[in-house]
């Protein structure tokens, strides 16, 4: 099935985004989703440039504002899977309020955060996930803020699917994306993404040495407290599914929300007799 | 007993938390039930307790459109209104204050202290020749959710006030005002309600907002009617989330609307541009209040006209709709839904606190509404492996669109400048082509048969002509009743600027005046920019209050 456009990716050779794109394609193939049967929404950043490369209905939005667009598309047509592609800067910096709020509402979207610990499209400034003390062009003396914890924040704010993957392990990541797409509700997948150009301290090998699979530790994704504990680990980074809960999605909780997508409602005749 | 009146002007004033607005609304509905045209205007500070709140009612057997200044009756609940409103009093104004022992009446009627306003309403009803039965009926309706006991005790207090007035103020009482037989075809409605119902009539299926005075009652109205109207309503995390979510739904094919005031509109500005460049239909209501920044939240202004026309970086077509009364709020809110979809662009409805939150008596809108869908491409014969030309250049600038889920329509909507497929481009030819394509829509909009050109009210030729936009219409029409040799040009749609139609109307005009609620004459500037016509006479008001008819009459007499 056609998965990519005629445009070649413009990422740096070796960029983690290649691995993520590969994993997305694998998951879509596995689920046999045709290009018109889902929508992908992109933030502004290196990750968002994927908008020109994936062949599907897509919306390339504003920096930090991708998640509300994605949730709006879902409300407009709840039959279609919606994937949001966003970086750590857009998701946890500019657009944090949307991330928290849409998680709390259990909006049925899959959020793929390409987390490279930096703002790379703007040439490598610190991001909310940068370790305190990180020296970047905007923080030459080292960053002052403590690191934002995306996984713990999403767990505390009622996301119903929380996972972490690694751009360097495509089959594992593809499986997480597939699970996220199958999940009904707010699915958050934080993806460890090496930025080989600006984040020289965290190349592929650094990640390989510092990650481990939650499956090895018999973690139970139904156990919220255990998931939170795992999310608080920062010396070694667990990957896999931290948490999965079954709860009605936002649109399923709107009373009278019909099975027919809003986009397909017939508006040719509207009667206000019961309204005025 | 006094002679028969055709109209009266009544005001109740007290502190926030004393139920002033509710009491005013009860009395307004009673007047409406009596068979009068009613206009209700409320002033209140941005707080929940204390301060000074008012609700005033202009009621008449004739058509009326705006509040009046001088009062026939002032109900002073907290003993300060007499002083605050001294300029609104005439030698004939009846003041209900210490002369009406509210607390005693409540006690005797077995009510609780917060029912004291009901005694004042009872007394007012007697003085203005309204029946106690009608007041009781209104009370039963307003308190229906609170139960029989609350209704009955409020009614008892109202009767105590009515009886007290009958005994003590008999000489001041008026005979009942003549009933307007057409009232049964009318409704009593605010501008914000009319916008809400108009949007439903226009096929809006999703409404999103973050509360902001004076737009909040649109959110309340639509949330309350969501089930019956079969629409979705979301109170979002902030105005940025609000507009982006509405754009997402618009992209998916849903007619969507958001509502806010200036501060929230400022936050939405980047999203406004997103709707512009992605050509996603969207309706935004900006209910104006004085600013900048937090300004005067609960007051009225028309300071955002030029801002709405220019908001967001760079250039793209948009439509600015400026209804003058609830009738137009309804009609133009429906039209906004259709124009947004037809031209694939943002439509901004500019109202203000006065129009949005005041109550008006208008002809009942049509109940059955037809809507046509615009611009959706039939793609069943197209290859699903080939991207759809979503931004194809056309004669009108409007490109056929497809929505997610539709085979053969796969494309990218892009906040970056893009080619006809939607993919990002920085090539100069593509850039110019897309800018030109979008810009072409402006000329099309002005030619649209549904576009509403400036409207002339009053005699075709007159010595003086008032030019205005938005809510001033309602006040100017009231003033015209007393102004000789004066007519009025109203702009229901200000942008794109209908220069030709406007100049046709002013061709034979003698002396022109612009009238606006801002300090720099924004429509006046716009007219000069768009037509070269320089209008030297400006009537401006920017104290947070709407014009009152007497002010316009004074300026033009």
Q: CA–CA distance from A260 to each of A35, A80, B203 (Å)?
A: 21, 12, 15
Option in A58, A263, A272 nearest B403 (CB): A263
pLDDT, position B1 = 40
The CA distance from A275 to the nearest CA of chain B, in Å, is 7
Chain A residues with CB inside 8 Å of B249's CB? 72-73, 75-76, 262-263
E strands of B448-519, at which residues? 455-457, 464-469, 486-491, 493-495, 511-516
Q: How many CB atoms lie within 10 A of CB B108?
A: 15
- Check CB contact of A9 with chain B, cutoff 8 Å: no
Q: CA–CA distance from B231 to each of A251, A270, B205, B208, B256 (Å)?
A: 12, 12, 5, 11, 10
pLDDT, position A160 = 98
Candidates B415, B418, B419, partner chain A, best to mutate (most A CBs within 10 A): B415
Q: Tell me the residues of chain A between 235 and 264 that have a Cβ less than 8 Å away from chain B.
A: 251, 254-258, 261-264
Option in B238, B247, B412 nearest A51 (CB): B412
B496 preceded by cis ω (within 30°)? yes
Contact A11, A164 (CB under 8 A): no
The fold for domain A16-264 equals Rossmann fold (3.40.50)
Interchain proximity A73–B251, CB inside 8 Å: yes
Backbone torsion region of residue A123, taken as left when φ is above 0, otherwise alpha when ψ lies between -120 and 50, otherwise beta: left
- Check CB contact of B423 with chain A, cutoff 8 Å: yes
CA distance B53 to B33: 24
pLDDT in tens, A225-267: 999 999 999 999 999 999 999 999 999 999 888 899 999 999 9
- Check CB contact of A10 with chain B, cutoff 8 Å: no
The CA distance from B241 to the nearest CA of chain A, in Å, is 5
Closest residue of B to A5, CA-based? B387
Interchain proximity A61–B415, CB inside 8 Å: yes
The CA distance from B251 to the nearest CA of chain A, in Å, is 7
Closest residue of B to A59, CA-based? B413
Interchain proximity B238–A34, CB inside 8 Å: no
Crossing angle for the helix pair A96-104 and A66-76, to the nearest 10 degrees: 30
Question: Two tokens at B277?
Answer: 């460049």
CA distance B520 to B522: 6
Contact B56, B154 (CB under 8 A): no
- Check CB contact of B407 with chain A, cutoff 8 Å: yes
Interchain proximity A62–B274, CB inside 8 Å: yes
Q: Tell me the residues of chain A between 20 and 79 that have a Cβ less than 8 Å away from chain B.
A: 34-39, 41, 44, 49, 51-52, 55-62, 65, 68-77, 79
Is B354 a residue whose pLDDT tops 90?
yes
Interchain proximity B248–A101, CB inside 8 Å: no
Size of interface A-B (CB pairs under 8 A): 212
pLDDT in tens, B517-537: 999 999 999 999 999 999 999
Closest residue of B to A103, CA-based? B237
Interchain proximity A76–B414, CB inside 8 Å: no
Is B540 a residue whose pLDDT tops 90?
yes
Candidates A2, A7, A75, partner chain B, best to mutate (most B CBs within 10 A): A75
pLDDT in tens, A152-192: 999 999 999 999 999 999 999 999 999 999 999 999 999 99
Interchain proximity A36–B409, CB inside 8 Å: yes
Radius of gyration, alpha carbons of chain A: 19
Interchain proximity A271–B365, CB inside 8 Å: no
Option in B242, B249, B405 nearest A75 (CB): B249
Chain B residues with CB inside 8 Å of A254's CB? 232
Chain A residues with CB inside 8 Å of B206's CB? 72, 75-76, 262
- Check CB contact of A124 with chain B, cutoff 8 Å: no
Option in B200, B384, B407 nearest A272 (CB): B200
Angle among Cα A66, A212, A85 to the nearest 5 degrees reads: 10
Option in A7, A62, A267 nearest B203 (CB): A267
Option in B200, B244, B387 nearest A69 (CB): B244
E strands of chain A, at which residues? 39-42, 57-60, 82-87, 110-115, 118-119, 125-126, 161-166, 187-192, 211-213, 237-244, 269-271
A79 preceded by cis ω (within 30°)? no
Strand partners, B187: B362
Q: Tell me the residues of chain A between 76 and 115 that have a Cβ less than 8 Å away from chain B.
A: 76-77, 79-80, 97-98, 100-102
The CA distance from A75 to the nearest CA of chain B, in Å, is 7
Which of A52, A42, A49 lies closest to A15, judged by CA?
A: A49
Task: Report the half-sphere exposure of B296 (CA within 13 A, side-chain side).
Answer: 17
The confidence band for B4, taking pLDDT boundaries of 50, 70 and 90, is low
The CA distance from B453 to the nearest CA of chain A, in Å, is 26
Closest residue of B to A40, CA-based? B412
Question: Two tokens at B186?
Answer: 């009318």
Chain B residues with CB inside 8 Å of A79's CB? 405
Q: Tell me the residues of chain B between 325 and 384 that have a Cβ less than 8 Å away from chain A.
A: 364-373, 384
Contact B187, B361 (CB under 8 A): yes
Angle among Cα B19, B20, B21 to the nearest 5 degrees reads: 95
Option in B187, B408, B410 nearest A276 (CB): B187
The confidence band for B178, taking pLDDT boundaries of 50, 70 and 90, is confident
Option in B230, B248, B365 nearest A276 (CB): B365
Q: Residue B13 in 3-state DSSP?
A: strand
Interchain proximity A70–B248, CB inside 8 Å: yes
Domain parsing of chain A, residue ranges:
16-264
Is B2 a residue whose pLDDT tops 60?
no
Q: How many CB atoms lie within 10 A of CB B70?
A: 13
Chain A residues with CB inside 8 Å of B185's CB? none
Interchain proximity A101–B241, CB inside 8 Å: yes
Domains plus CATH for chain B? 7-179 (3.40.920.10), 191-363 (3.40.50.970), 455-556 (3.40.50.920)
Option in A62, A75, A270 nearest B206 (CB): A75
The answer to ipTM > 0.95 is: yes
Residue found by looking up tokens 């689920």 in the block: A31
Interchain proximity A57–B255, CB inside 8 Å: no
Rounded to 10 degrees, what is the CA torsion of B463, B468, B471, B475?
Answer: -20
CA distance B276 to B317: 7
């Amino acid at each position: 099935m056609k998965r990519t456009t005629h445009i070649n990716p413009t990422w740096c050779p070796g960029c983690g985004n290649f691995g993520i794109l590969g994993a997305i394609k694998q998951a879509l193939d596995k689920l046999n989703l045709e290009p018109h049967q889902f929508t992908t929404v992109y933030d502004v950043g290196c990750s968002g440039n994927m908008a020109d490369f994936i062949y599907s209905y897509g919306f390339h939005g504003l920096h930090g504002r991708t998640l509300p667009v994605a949730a709006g598309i879902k409300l407009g047509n709840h039959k279609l899977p919606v994937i949001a592609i966003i970086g750590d800067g857009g998701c946890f910096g500019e657009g944090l309020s949307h991330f928290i709020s849409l998680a709390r509402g259990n909006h049925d979207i899959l959020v793929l955060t390409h987390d490279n610990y930096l703002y790379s499209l703007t040439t490598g400034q610190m991001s909310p996930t940068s370790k305190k003390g990180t020296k970047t062009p905007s923080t030459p003396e080292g960053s002052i803020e403590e690191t934002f914890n995306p996984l713990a924040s999403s767990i505390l704010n009622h996301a119903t699917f929380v996972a972490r993957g690694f751009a360097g392990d495509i089959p594992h990541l593809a499986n997480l994306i597939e699970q996220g797409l199958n999940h009904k509700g707010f699915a958050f997948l934080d993806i460890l993404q090496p930025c080989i150009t600006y984040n020289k301290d965290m190349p592929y090998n650094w990640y390989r040495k510092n990650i481990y699979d939650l499956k090895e530790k018999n973690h139970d994704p139904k156990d919220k407290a255990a998931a939170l504990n795992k999310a608080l680990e920062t010396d070694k980074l667990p990957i896999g599914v931290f948490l999965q809960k079954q709860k009605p999605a936002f649109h399923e909780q709107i009373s009278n929300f019909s099975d027919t997508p809003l986009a397909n409602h017939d508006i040719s005749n509207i009667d206000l007799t019961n309204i005025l | 007993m006094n002679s028969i009146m055709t109209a009266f002007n009544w005001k109740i004033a007290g502190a926030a938390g004393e139920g002033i607005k509710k009491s005013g609304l009860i009395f307004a509905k009673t007047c409406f039930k009596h068979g009068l045209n009613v206009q209700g205007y409320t002033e209140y500070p941005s707080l929940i307790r204390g301060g000074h709140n008012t609700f005033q009612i202009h009621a008449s057997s004739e058509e009326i459109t705006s509040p009046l200044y001088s009062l026939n009756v002032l109900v002073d609940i907290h003993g300060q209104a007499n002083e605050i409103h001294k300029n609104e009093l005439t030698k004939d104004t009846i003041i209900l204050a210490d002369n009406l022992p509210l607390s005693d009446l409540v006690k005797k009627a077995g009510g609780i202290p917060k029912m004291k306003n009901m005694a004042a309403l009872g007394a007012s009803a007697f003085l203005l020749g309204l029946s106690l039965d009608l007041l009781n009926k209104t009370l039963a309706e307003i308190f229906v959710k609170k139960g029989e006991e609350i209704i009955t005790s409020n009614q008892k207090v109202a009767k105590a006030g009515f009886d007290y007035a009958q005994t003590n103020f008999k000489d001041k009482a008026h005979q009942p005002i003549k009933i307007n037989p057409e009232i049964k075809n009318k409704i009593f409605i605010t501008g914000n309600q009319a916008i809400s119902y108009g949007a439903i009539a226009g096929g809006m299926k999703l409404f999103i907002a973050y509360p902001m005075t004076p737009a909040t009652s649109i959110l309340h109205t639509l949330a309350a009617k969501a089930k019956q109207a079969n629409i979705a309503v979301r109170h979002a995390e902030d105005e940025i989330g609000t507009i982006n979510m509405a754009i997402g739904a618009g992209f998916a094919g849903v007619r969507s609307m958001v509502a806010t005031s200036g501060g929230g509109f400022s936050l939405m500005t980047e999203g406004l541009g997103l709707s512009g460049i992605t050509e996603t239909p969207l309706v935004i209501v900006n209910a104006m209040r004085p600013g900048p920044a937090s300004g005067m939240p609960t007051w009225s202004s028309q300071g955002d006209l030029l801002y709405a026309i220019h908001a967001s970086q760079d250039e793209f077509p948009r439509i600015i709709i400026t209804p003058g009364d609830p009738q137009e709020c309804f009609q133009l809110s429906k039209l906004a839904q259709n124009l947004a979809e037809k031209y694939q662009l943002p439509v901004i409805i500019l109202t203000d606190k006065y129009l949005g939150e005041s109550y008006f008596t208008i002809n009942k809108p049509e109940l059955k509404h037809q809507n046509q869908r615009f611009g959706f491409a039939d793609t069943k014969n197209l290859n699903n492996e080939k991207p759809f030309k979503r931004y194809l250049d056309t004669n009108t600038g409007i490109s056929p669109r497809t929505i997610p889920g539709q085979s053969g329509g796969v494309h990218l909507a892009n906040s970056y400048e893009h080619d006809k497929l939607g993919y990002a481009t920085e090539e100069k030819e593509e850039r110019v082509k897309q800018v030109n394509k979008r810009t072409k829509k402006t000329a099309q909009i002005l030619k649209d048969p549904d576009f509403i050109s400036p409207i002339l009210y009053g005699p075709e030729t007159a010595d003086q002509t008032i030019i205005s936009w938005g809510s001033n219409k309602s006040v100017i029409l009231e003033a015209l009743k007393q102004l000789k040799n004066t007519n009025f040009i109203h702009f229901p749609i200000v942008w794109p600027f209908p220069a030709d139609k406007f100049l046709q109307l002013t061709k034979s005009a003698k002396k022109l005046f612009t009238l606006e609620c801002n300090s720099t004459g924004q429509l006046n500037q716009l007219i000069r920019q768009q037509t070269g016509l320089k209008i030297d006479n400006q009537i401006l008001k920017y104290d947070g209050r709407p014009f009152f008819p007497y002010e316009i009459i004074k300026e033009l007499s």
